[in-house]
Amino acid sequence: MSDWHLKSLRNSLTQKGWQIVAEHPGNDYDISGSWEIRRGTSLLIDFGGMDKSGDACLPISRSYSCRLRGRPNCGVYFGKNRKKWASDLKQFILALDSMSALSS
């Protein structure tokens, strides 16, 4: 992943009224770290980070995806295709918004 993925994710969350209230460490296995986000309710976004060999966990700056904790099908892959990334990111943010609405 490059910095533009993180920046884009952060900006998209902020534009939709989400705040990143904490950054938590990963599990030294397959989660590089987590963002705790809040907009009325708190949610956790986990960043995927198992390296190709399966022997190490990448830092969050090199993670390759993120997903809503507890919702394995609610996530986004940090691909190189910017058009696909923008579309996938939009869908991810919409899913987060719906999770927030359900818990309100």
Relative to beta strand 65-68, strand 31-39 is unpaired
Per-residue pLDDT averaged across 12-30, rounded?
A: 95
12: CATH:
3.30.310
Distance CA 5, CA 99 (A): 22
Average model confidence (pLDDT) for the chain? 91
On the CB side of 27, how many CA atoms lie within 13 Å of its CA?
A: 7
Structural domain harbouring 84: 3-103
Q: Look at residue 62 and give its three-state secondary structure.
A: helix
Task: Check pLDDT > 80 for residue 101.
Answer: no
Domain count across the chain = 1
CA gyration radius, the chain? 13
Q: Comparing 100 with 93, which gets the higher pLDDT?
A: 93
pLDDT in tens, 25-74: 999 889 999 999 999 889 999 999 888 887 889 999 999 999 999 998 99
**Percentage, residues of the chain above pLDDT 90:** 67
